[in-house]
Amino acid sequence: MHGTADREIVVSRVIDAPRELVFEAFTDVRHLSRWWGPEGFTTTTRSFEFRVGGSGAS
């Protein structure tokens, strides 16, 4: 079985907001879909497990 290194995406942003608010936006499913595309873009989250080894949003 192949590893995932060849499928890795690294995203970097500088956001002028409190650290706690940014963390919540990336870790709370209510906010997560707003980060994944431009205005009008939609996404459906079927599972989300925010921990090392957990399943990613899909």
User: Which pTM was predicted?
Assistant: 0.48
Cα–Cα dist 29/35, whole Å: 11
pLDDT tens, N- to C-terminus, the chain (58 residues): 566 667 788 878 788 999 898 888 878 877 777 777 778 888 777 777 777 766 554 4
Domain boundaries, the chain: 1-58
CB 43 within 8 A of CB 52: no
Give residue 57's pLDDT: 46
Give residue 3's pLDDT: 66
Give residue 4's pLDDT: 65
CB 40 within 8 A of CB 46: no
Query: Which residue is associated with the tokens 């942003």?
Result: 13
CA distances from 48 to 2, 8, 27, 41 (A): 23, 18, 9, 19
